Amino acid sequence: SNLSPDFAVGGPALVLSPKSGSVARAAFAPGTEQQDTPRRRLVIGRTPGDASVDGGSKAPCNSALAPSPSQPPGAVASDGAGVGLVYDERMTKHYNLMDDGHPERPARIVRIFESLEEAGLADRCVRIPCRAATREELLLKHTEKHVDTMLNIETLTEEEATELGGRYKSVYLCPGSTQAGLLAAGSVIEGVAAVCRGDVGRGICVVRPPGHHAECECAMGFCMFGNVSLAVAEAQRTGLSKRTLIVDWDVHHGNGTQNMFDDDSAVLFFSVHRYDTGRFFPGGELGHFESHGKGEGAGYSVNVPWDVRGGFKKGHPAPGDAEYLEAFEKLLLPIAADFQPDLVVVSAGFDAAAGDPLGECEVTPAGYHALTRMLLSLAGG
């Protein structure tokens, strides 16, 4: 593997719910008394889905905003069976006014959903209602100034929105960004809650803009709000989860997610990403393996960085299935077994996939399937 000798995870989501009748022994902190908590299961990611998806009734998606004409109001099946699916085409209203070919463009989620339909998987999923995140929810992990700035975008002209986006690191904005950002965050929150309540067995949230680069105080790296972070924070606030594992397998380090939970021992953050001695986006030392949390959260952030460029210079191939599976088997699973999460959320960017021109890694669809199956061994599956 091409681990750096110095070495140190946008997007949509998958969700899993309490296993009927199962109770997990969850340790709430090293050295403290364990307590009984309902065991829940959740995987979150932007992916065409898993071939082992369970059956379930289909219901149209609706939202806290005005329903989209092609997404009339519908209901969520409440028998706890099947895989929940979150998607709303109004998230395509966020786009780059200056560059139609930008890599984070509306076609990303459109094509994913089309693939789900073509494979017959969408019809086998339970549609979870989409909704906008509330201000209260956004403030769980973002500052008032940042929330107000993002909410105000819809009142700007295209020129003003473009200028505002230019103030951030790798961010574009347009008047439709406010609605899309609120739907992305709120829909992941709702997807996680549906899983934790037992409305569905698992779930996938096909949403954009992505979220793992967004910081408490600013947008960053194509991300407006910390979608997964907000969903986990709300699950904690409402008592749906007490020990959450966030797995980030995006090729970029999830800087925003780690910062939002860096001092929180109730959240275990695991990121495997391209690092290149801190030169690969988002850069810096946060994704270094010595960056492991602080205060009460010390030891609850785990970073596995790849020195891809350094490996290339030495004639080594890019990390692929074998390296990722090794990282999960030898690092993540043993640590997670001690942590005993009651909820698992995956920030599932797929830019470590073979053929991605920026990530340059070699993970195959079969590799992602194997990683997902490994995660199903946690929190009741």
Q: What is the pLDDT of residues 153-165, one digit of tens each?
A: 999 999 999 999 9
Band (pLDDT 50/70/90 cuts) for residue 26 is very low
Residue 80's pLDDT band (cuts 50, 70, 90): low
Structure tokens at 127: 């549609």
First to last CA, the chain: 29
Exposure on the CB side of residue 5, measured as CA atoms within 13 A: 2
Q: Considering only CA atoms, which of 46, 49, 47, 45 is closest in space to residue 247? A: 45
**Alpha carbon distances (Å) from 261 to 109, 140, 258, 298:** 27, 11, 5, 10
Beta bridge partners of 345: 246
User: What integer pLDDT is reported at residue 379 of this predicted model?
Assistant: 87
Q: Is 314 exposed, middle or buried (0-12, 13-18, 19+ CB in 10 A)?
A: exposed
Report the alpha-carbon distance of residue 246 to residue 345 in Å, rounded: 5
Q: How far is CA 97 from the centre of its chain?
A: 25
**Catalytic center residues:** 213
Q: What is the bridge-based pairing of β-strands 23-26 and 35-38?
A: antiparallel
Q: How far is CA 35 from the centre of its chain?
A: 28
Q: Which residues pair with 86 in a beta bridge?
A: 205
Radius of gyration of the CA atoms of the chain, in A? 19
Residue 311 scores a pLDDT above 60: yes
| pLDDT for res 35 | 35
CA distance 294 to 90: 39
For the entire predicted model, the pTM comes to 0.82
pLDDT at position 65, please? Answer: 39
Q: How much is the pLDDT for 33?
A: 31
* Overall average pLDDT of the 50-69 stretch: 32
Q: Which secondary structure element, helix H or strand E, spans residue 321, and what is its range?
A: helix 321-327
List of residues 6+ apart from 27 with CB closer than 8 A: 34, 243, 338, 339, 340
Using pLDDT thresholds of 50, 70 and 90, give the confidence band for residue 380.
confident
Cα gap 248→39, rounded to integer Å: 21
Joined together, the tokens standing for residue 164 give 């505002």
Q: What are phi and psi of 273, to 5 degrees?
A: -155, 160
